[in-house]
Amino acid sequence: MSADFELIERDGMGRICTLRTPHGPVETPTVLPVINPNRKLITAHEMRKDFGAQMVITNSYIIARDPRLREIAASSGVHGLLEFDGPVMTDSGTFQSYVYGNLGIDANEIVALQRAFGSDVSTVLDIFSEPDFSREKAEEAVRITTDRASTALRLDGGRGIIACTVQGSLYPDLRERAARELSALGADYMAVGGIVPLMERGMYPELVDVVMASKKGMNPACPVHLFGAGHPLIFPIAALMGCDIFDSASYAKYAQDDRLIFPDRTVHLSELEYNPCLCPVCSDHTLKEIKSADRTERTGILARHNLHIIFSEIRLVKQAIREQRLWELAENRARSNPSLFDSYISLLTHYDFLERFEPISRKSGVSVVDGVSLSRPSIRRFSYRLDAMRAGTGRDMLLVGGTKPYFSHLDFSLKSGDEDIVARTPFGLMPITLTETYPFAQSSYSLNAVPEPRVLEYLSKFGYGSFRSVEGKWRRGGNTVPAFAYIDLIRKVCEYQFGAGLSASLLSGKIEFTHSNSTGKLRMVLRDGKQILFFRTGEGLFSLKFEGARLIHSATQPPAMRVVCSDDAADFVSSGKSLFCKFVKEADACIRPGDECIVVDGMDRLLACGRAAMNREEMLAFRKGVAVDVREHPSSA
Q: Which residues are known to be catalytic?
A: 91
Q: How far apart are CA 476 and CA 323, in angstroms?
A: 31
What single-letter DSSP state applies at residue 36?
B
Q: At what angle do helices 204-217 and 172-184 cross, to 10 degrees?
A: 30
Q: How many alpha carbons lie under 13 Å from residue 596 in its C-beta half-sphere?
A: 24
- CB atoms closer than 10 angstroms to residue 286: 11
Cβ pair 513, 523 in contact under 8 A: yes
Cβ pair 571, 585 in contact under 8 A: no
- State whether residue 397 is helix, strand or coil: strand
Q: How far apart are CA 239 and CA 236, in angstroms?
A: 5
Residue 369, judged by CB atoms within 10 A of its CB (0-12, 13-18, 19+), counts as middle
**Which strands sit side by side in the sheet containing 579-580, from one edge to the other?**
579-580, 626-632, 606-612, 596-600, 562-565, 584-587
- CB atoms closer than 10 angstroms to residue 485: 18
- State whether residue 406 is helix, strand or coil: helix
**Which strands sit side by side in the sheet containing 14-21, from one edge to the other?**
4-11, 14-21, 24-28
Please name every residue paired with 122 in a beta bridge, in sequence order, or none if there are none: 162
Residue 172, judged by CB atoms within 10 A of its CB (0-12, 13-18, 19+), counts as middle
Calculate the alpha carbon distances from 400 to 382, 389, 447, 474 in Å: 21, 20, 17, 10
Q: At what angle do helices 135-156 and 172-184 cross, to 10 degrees?
A: 10
Q: At what angle do helices 377-390 and 483-498 cross, to 10 degrees?
A: 120
Query: In angstroms, how far is the first alpha carbon of the chain from the final one?
Result: 43
Q: Which of 501, 305, 480 is nearest to 388 (CA)?
A: 501
Q: Which of 91, 95, 163 is nearest to 129 (CA)?
A: 95
Q: How many alpha carbons lie under 13 Å from residue 169 in its C-beta half-sphere?
A: 16
Cβ pair 124, 149 in contact under 8 A: yes
Q: How far apart are CA 541 and CA 543, in angstroms?
A: 7
Q: How far apart are CA 572 and CA 606, in angstroms?
A: 13
Please name every residue paired with 58 in a beta bridge, in sequence order, or none if there are none: 90
